[in-house]
Amino acid sequence: MNPQTQENPREYRLQKLVNQIDSDSVEAAPLPILQTSKLNNSGTFLYIRQITNWFNDLQAIAKLIAVVVGFILGIAILQAALKLIAGVISMALLAGLVYLGYNFFVAGNSSQIKE
């Protein structure tokens, strides 16, 4: 050992380990910098981030109330959407029945009268 290592054996060991790690490690290629898309800065994601921050700042009981109210509103919106879809399907069926009735009763009689 040289005189420098006798004075600071810890520093010598540390330097030796650092040199060993440096020699053993493989040079890693730098990661490409990804372009941030315009979506990250758009109003929708900003709005969602603001809501998330607001929700995280709430107390536990307030979080529970917010979740329950959100669940009830979600169910109400889902129910309204399903009623709208059911109404559209009902109107389509009614229109089909009216069309078939017209063809059967009115259009069918007019062809018999012409003969």
Per-residue pLDDT at 9 exceeds 90 = no
pLDDT value for 56: 93
pLDDT in tens, 25-48: 555 556 666 555 555 567 788 989
pTM of the model: 0.49
Question: Structural domain boundaries of the chain?
Answer: 60-108
More confident residue, 18 or 87: 87
The closest of 41, 63, 42, 38 to 52, measured between CA atoms, is 63
- Contact predicate 58/66, CB 8 Å: yes
Has residue 18 got a pLDDT over 80?
A: yes
Work out the average pLDDT over 10-39.
70
Question: pLDDT for 72-110, tens place per residue?
Answer: 999 999 999 999 999 999 999 999 999 999 998 887 776
d(CA 85, CA 79): 10
